Structure 1
Amino acid sequence: MLKKLLLVAALGSAAVFSGCESMQTSPHITENLQLLQNKTWIATQIGGTEIKTAPNARNIPSIQFDEASKRVSGSDGCNRIMGAYTAGNDTLQLSQLGSTRMACPGNGNLDQAYNAALSKVTHYQVYGKTLKLLDHNGNLLIQYESAVHPR
């Protein structure tokens, strides 16, 4: 009986310690988050379609992930967007997304395509100055390049 109790206690302790160890943030997760957060990302592609915007355009589709507040903000090419996010090593969940509701004539429904793509995001990849937002199958939804000037 004592051996069984000792075995259960040892297994329980091992489970607790391994659980605590996995709760720590790995250096790879921290590195990915640092590359994702606190910069302005300018959309260059939605799905397989390249986004062409004039350099002097007023509302270029963009996104920012604020590390301190865990808030996401940006523009869909017409309206301001805002919400919350949770990010892991390669996972990204956008929640409580909202936007202003201005009329957007002449933008070729860019705002609608951008918001539809954002609603499907589950993962991300960051390589240098490129951010890719992906769906659960790994398909490209939106691709960004980091802006020259931080916000």
Structure 2
Amino acid sequence: MLKKLFAITILSSTLAIVGCQSTPSTSANMTATNLTLLQNTTWVATKIGKSTIVYNNDAPNRASLQFDEATHRVTGTDGCNRLTGAYKAGKDTLELEQIASTRMACMNNDNLDQQFNEALAKVTHYQVFNRTLKLLDRHGNPVLEFESVIQPR
């Protein structure tokens, strides 16, 4: 009787270990999918907080970001100045580090550059749905919203 109980325990343990090893991690898959959607895309800002950004047709720069998977660098523009820095991203977390920008005189942009940079400083999380990227603060409130740009071939 004791031998049967021992054999069943060993068999159950073995099956549990093998089963756990062969089950793919949905968390790891979700992280990879979110990172793939976030990275290597040009994102053009469409909202700051709840306010929609309206660009003039002749505007030379549109606020935008690109997250480079290979270098873990973020680059872009705040609508006037170019910016660059490092980033760390997880399944839904986003940490922007050492953001530096040029300091050009930004005329006639309704303080878009200042508002964009203030919102960017609050970012701790992100969400990607289809062609929309939302950058969120620590409370889950959207601070910036972007649409992906389809690159010409």
Please tell me the TM-score bracket, short chain as reference: 0.7 to 0.9
- Structure 1 unpaired stretches of 5+: 1-24
- 1:34 is matched with 36
Kept in 2: contact 1:40–1:150 (CA 8 A): no
Partner of 2:4: none
1:96 equivalent to 2:123? Answer: no
Aligned residue in 2 for 1:67: 69
What are the superposed Cα offsets for residues 32-87 of structure 1, whole Å, 9 maximum, x if unpaired?
A: 00000001000000001100113442110000000000000000000001000000
SS at match of 2:33: helix
SS in 1 for 2:76: strand
Letter in 2 for 1:80: R
1:122 to 118, 124, 134: 124
User: Equivalent residue of 1:77, what SS?
Assistant: coil
Match of 1:46 in 2: 48
TM-score using structure 1 length: 0.81
Q: Kindly indicate whether residue 85 of structure 2 is the aligned counterpart of residue 83 of structure 1.
A: yes
Q: Give the TM-score normalised by the residue count of structure 2.
A: 0.80
Question: Which residue type is aligned with residue 135 of structure 1?
Answer: D
Match of 1:134 in 2: 136
Structure 2 residue ranges without an equivalent (≥5):
1-26
1:150 Cα deviation after fit = 6.9
Q: 2-side partners of 1:75 and 1:47: how far apart?
A: 18
Structure possessing the higher radius of gyration over alpha carbons: 2
Looking at structure 2, the residues matched to 150 and 118 of structure 1 have their Cα atoms a distance apart, in angstroms, of: 28
Structure 2 CA distance for aligned equivalents of residues 32 and 150 of structure 1? 23
Distance, in Å, in 1 between the alignment partners of 2:63 and 2:152 is 16
Structure 2 counterpart SS, 1:144? strand
Q: 1:87 and 1:97, CA in 2 relative to 1: closer, same or farther beyond 3 A?
A: same
Name the SS of the counterpart of 2:34 in structure 1.
helix
Contact kept? 1:83, 1:96, Cα under 8 Å: yes
- Looking at structure 1, the residues matched to 95 and 57 of structure 2 have their Cα atoms a distance apart, in angstroms, of 30
129, 132, 148: which one pairs with 2:150?
Answer: 148
CA distance 1:148–1:125, shift in 2 (3 Å): same
How big is the alpha-carbon RMSD for the aligned residues of Structure 1 and Structure 2? 1.9
* Aligned residues between the structures: 129
Residue deviations 1:16-43, cap 9 Å, x none? xxxxxxxxx7111000000000010000
SS at match of 1:33: helix
